[in-house]
Structure 1
Amino acid sequence: MPNPTLRIAFLVSCAGVLFGYGITSIAGVLDTLSPLFSLDLRETQFLVFVLVAACFAGAAAAGPVSLRWGRRPAMAAATLASACAYGFLLSAPTLTGLIAARVLAGLSIGLYSMVVPMYAAETAQAARRGAVVALFQLAITGGILLSYGLGLWLDAADQWSLVLGAGLAPSALAALGLAALPESPRWLAARGRREEAARAAARLGLAGEWLAAAEPATAIRPGLRQGRVLGVLILCSALFILQNLSGIDGILYYAPQIFKGLGFSAGSAALGATFGLGLANFLATLASVVLVDRLGRRRLWIGGSAVMAVGLAAVIFAARDGSPWLGLVGLCLYILAFAVSLGPLPYVLMSELFPSALREKGIAAASAVSWLFNALIALTFLSIVETVGLDGAMLLFLVVCLLSLLLGIRFLPETRHVSLEAIESRVLEGLPLRELGVGQEASRV
């Protein structure tokens, strides 16, 4: 793989598959694990929640780790933890061992969720940066599809450990991908290691667009209240809060239970509908990799939020009228829209908007906020459905989608094809959030 963009894309893909597989592989085996370990509703939710809570801890730790030791060591630690977790899951552990392995897997996913998009943004060429970072979300959906497919194909009652432990394979591939890439030249330059940074930039094909602008950018040491830095932190955190509260986590974690609630029979019918949802998610995210650098971030966010609300409205009618196929169509429409908007764009925008001197801390804070609300949904979704019904839960998610639409119209900037250094300059100048990606460089595309 001589092309540096392909090497970066390979690593991003492996990490994304591990992310998606890890968070959803439990969905296809919950109906097996609950009776196997005698779990009630709250204990079942806790088994889902414990991995997401560990993701929060991993994302919170990712900033200090990647800031002090670098992006590659942080990703190496995540890859090692992932391999150990999935290797142990293959042994069909006890409930205590299962929880411990999910904690370890969650720590690795939390590290990946923050470091990989940041590394991709810092090492990819500007013209391809949006697509490369969006590839992370595509790979997440690929991992989700893989987990649903294995859950449908394998006999979960006898092979649940294989369904949960199959993430060992992409862990090994991630290690190979990491070995073929250098440290981020922007991180090296920020540490005063200019010669190493120059060599890394040359290996990545960045010398022409990066080295000339690197010195002024790395010399800046902004504070949280300088320019529009605080606004960027609030915006990126809000994007992730909306992403999680829009309902995606509850739908992905508990899809078989949702489809049973809509009227599909338990077992293969519910799992088959779940696999169809995962396939729609993957195909739409594939389209987003192309669209994010053509249509731009802002258009996709606004349009996607509106269509997600329409899809959830269809699910509400289906739940009230007992129309399972309308519910499936509505959920597929919701997933299709999510996959080109609220799915990839928070990762793309957070990796672009934070100034270089605050990038680790800012992205870590936004990622941690994301996992905090993700964990909240994982821990409460079944209880919410039990309390207000499936239609009531979907109505809450619909309201969040409408709030997402309003935020996109009012605050979201367009950053496609704008260099990180140009965006950073506008953030530090204190331009309004809407104008952070607007300028002569952006107007040429």
Structure 2
Amino acid sequence: MIRKFWTDRSIEPIVLILTLIVSGGFTFGFGIASVAGVLDIIKSKFELSESGEQFVVGVLVLGCFLGAAGAGPISAGWGRKRTIMLAAALGGLGYTLILAGLGLAGLLLGRSLAGLCIGLISMVVPMYAAETTPAQRRGAVVSMFQLAITLGILGAYGATLAFAASVPWQLLLGAGILPLGLVLLAILALPESPRWLAARGDPAAVQRATHTLGLSDEWQDMPVATAGAGGGAPFRRGSTAAVLVLCSTLFVLQNLSGIDGILYYAPRIFQELGFSAGTAALAATFGLGLVNVLATIAAIAMVDRLGRRPLLIFGSAAMSIGLAAVIVASQLGWPWIGLAGLAVFIAAFALSLGPLPYVLMSELFPTAIREAGIAMASATSWLFNALIAFTFLSLVAAIGLSGAIGLFLVVCLLSLGFCLAFTPETRGVRLEEIEAAVLAGRPLRQIGG
């Protein structure tokens, strides 16, 4: 009924896909960042230790890890559509528990369920968008997921800056339930992924889905066997294992670059740099969120023009420069230089290691193992994300802010070298052409041309 309501009004499929990816990304960004501005309030209410603070932050990320790890088999068996519906149900339940104000136990359980939701969304929504979008739009559309994440982060920072003093913290955290309604409406109005349907051997459903999505012309040239091609040991076929290592490494570099520590604990970092607690630190945090959004918009404009590889190389170099400035500012007591350095870091991240690992993982894995491959890469991402969430405050206490930022700087330099050596360019290449190159065993740098 919902799908008929939308399609009777001639809404273009790309609008529905963009609605899905934007609302899913916003859910992701708001969910992971909303705790930053209310962490001091939660700490005071429940008399939490430093470890307790990290656990409140990290329990959501641990849920994200479990959700991403389970997303592969669930989406392979149930399909992308029903998996996204499951994510919306889990998130809705989790945020309802948070809004109910059931104490620390209710907060932790609610954040765990919200984490499961975000973990599923982080893997399945970009994959669905990549499988249902024409090749010439794919990079920009999948990058919209990262833009929506940054908008969710900005929304979370803005909400706490504006309302933390007057609105209960449960409402500020529980507001993450709102974009889930759009996720549910959008996916109900869309068909199942034709590539998943093809892998299930349902040509009639494939034809209906490709017609609805406007992919009929692109689908005509696809070999029928490609969608369902498998093999006894799919991760040993061609360059598939190398693709898995590439995508997983990009996510490890993404999370160990320092972005998660900055997103989760930004007000605390600004206090360490010399900004006063409260409004000043929250305002500086909001400023970072705004830079993140603007730079991600620029990334979307460039990803299908300049390509994936140049942006990753340039971004890693600029991230290193930004973190070096933060270290200098921390040592010399220059808070505004520290803010500028973090702004450079965030902008460069938004152009490179933010959106592009999602784009590349949705493009490089062959259809037969796309669910498993993306789930493994996403789970790796969340595992290292959790590592930062559970240890950042302790790391700063042990070696100081400059020491912690110095470790992140080393990671950014490693990212620069890794991207120079191994990252391929897939701009404008159809998924089936990329898959053929991977299964043929081409070196990573030659996949996609």
Q: 1:187: how far off?
A: 0.2
SS in 1 for 2:276: coil
Deviation string 1:124-158 (CA, Å, 9 cap, x unpaired) is: 01000001110000000000000000000003475
Amino acid at match of 2:374: I
Which ranges of structure 2 fall in alignment gaps of 5 or more residues? 1-9
* Residue in structure 2 matched with residue 329 of structure 1 by the alignment: 340
Distance 1:187 1:211, change over 3 A: farther
Partner Cα distance (1:168, 1:370) in 2: 24
C-alpha separation in 2, matches of 1:386 and 1:296: 40
Q: Note if 1:271 corresponds to 2:307.
A: no
Give the letter for the 1:4 counterpart: P
Q: 1:114 aligns with which of 123, 127, 131?
A: 123
1:392 lines up with 2:392 in the alignment: no
Q: Does 1:380 align with 2:380?
A: no
Structure 1 runs (4+) deviating above 6 angstroms are none
Q: Which amino acid aligns with 1:78?
A: A
RMSD, aligned CA: 0.9
Residue of structure 2 equivalent to 1:409:
420
C-alpha distance in 2 between matches for 1:92 and 1:220: 49
Counterpart-to-counterpart distance in 1, 2:368 and 2:117: 24
Q: Secondary structure at the match of 1:90?
A: helix
- Name the residue aligned to 1:426: 437
1: CA distance between counterparts of 2:115 and 2:236?
32
- The C-alpha deviation readout for 1:11-31, integer Å capped at 9, x for no partner, is 000000000000110000001
Distance 1:414 1:387 in 2: 41
Aligned to 2:377: 366
TM-score, reference length from structure 1: 0.97
Q: Does 1:101 align with 2:113?
A: no
Say whether the 8 Å CA contact 1:32–1:156 is kept in structure 2: no
User: Equivalent residue for 1:442?
Assistant: none
**Corresponding residue number in structure 1 for 2:309:** 298
Could you say which residue in structure 2 is the equivalent of 1:164? 173
**Alignment partner of 1:13 is 2:22:** yes
Distance 1:425 1:40 in 2: 53
Counterpart residue number, 2:213:
204
Give the length in aligned residue pairs: 438
Q: What is the Cα deviation at residue 91 of structure 1?
A: 2.3
In the alignment, what sits opposite 2:81? 72
For residue 287 of structure 1, report the CA deviation from its aligned partner. 1.2
1:306-357 deviation line (CA, Å, top 9, x unaligned): 0000000000001000100000000000000000100000000000000000
The residue number in structure 2 matching 1:85 is 94
**1:87 deviation in Å?**
2.3
8 Å contact kept, 1:313–1:330: yes
- 1:350 aligns with 361
Whether the aligned pair in 2 keeps the contact of 1:186 and 1:214 (CA below 8 Å) is no
- 384-393 or 168-177: bigger deviation: 168-177
Letter in 1 for 2:350: A
Residue identity matched to 1:366 = A
Name 1:341's counterpart in structure 2.
Answer: 352
- 42-51 or 154-163: bigger deviation: 154-163
Q: Match of 1:244?
A: 255
Aligned counterpart for 2:321 among listed residues 310, 317, 323: 310
Within 1, Cα distance between the matches of 2:96 and 2:273? 36
Query: Which residue among 139, 144, 161 is the counterpart of 1:135?
Result: 144
Secondary structure of the corresponding residue to residue 424 of structure 2? coil
Post-superposition CA distance 1:367-419 (Å, at most 9, x none) = 00000000000000001101110011111000000100001110000001000
SS of corresponding position for 2:426 = coil
Q: TM-score, normalised by structure 2?
A: 0.96
After superposition, what is the alpha-carbon deviation per residue over 1:242-300, rounded to whole angstroms, capped at 9, x for unaligned? 00000000000000000000000000000000000000001111111111111100000
Separation in 2, partners of 1:190, 1:158: 49
Given that 2:200 and 2:228 are in contact with CA atoms closer than 8 Å, whether structure 1 keeps it comes out as no
1:43 counterpart = 2:39:
no
Distance 2:343 2:355 in 1: 17
Q: Within 2, Cα distance between the matches of 1:93 and 1:131?
A: 41
Residue type of the alignment partner of 2:284 = A
Counterpart code for 2:52: E
Q: Tell whether the 8 Å contact from 1:26 to 1:253 is kept in structure 2 after alignment.
A: yes
